Structure 1
Amino acid sequence: YGAIHENCVGCHKAQKKGPKKCSECHPKKKK
């Protein structure tokens, strides 16, 4: 989970706009 969270945070930091949902950066794949 840590790696996934870090990727999400990195994505949000890359988007210098307001916070975005994680799914906007890397949508969850259907299991």
Structure 2
Amino acid sequence: MNNSHEQLTFQCELLIRNQIYLHTYTFTNVI
């Protein structure tokens, strides 16, 4: 149970980092 919870948190964190990376990437490209 605890292990799957950590896995879920890890994936969420990865997704958030990916979103932030994409946003910064497009933002710098626009400028």
Q: TM-score of the superposition, structure 1-length normalised?
A: 0.49
Name the larger-Rg structure. Answer: 2
Higher percent of residues as helix: 2
Instruction: Name which structure has the greater RCO, CA cutoff 8 Å, separation 6+.
Output: 1
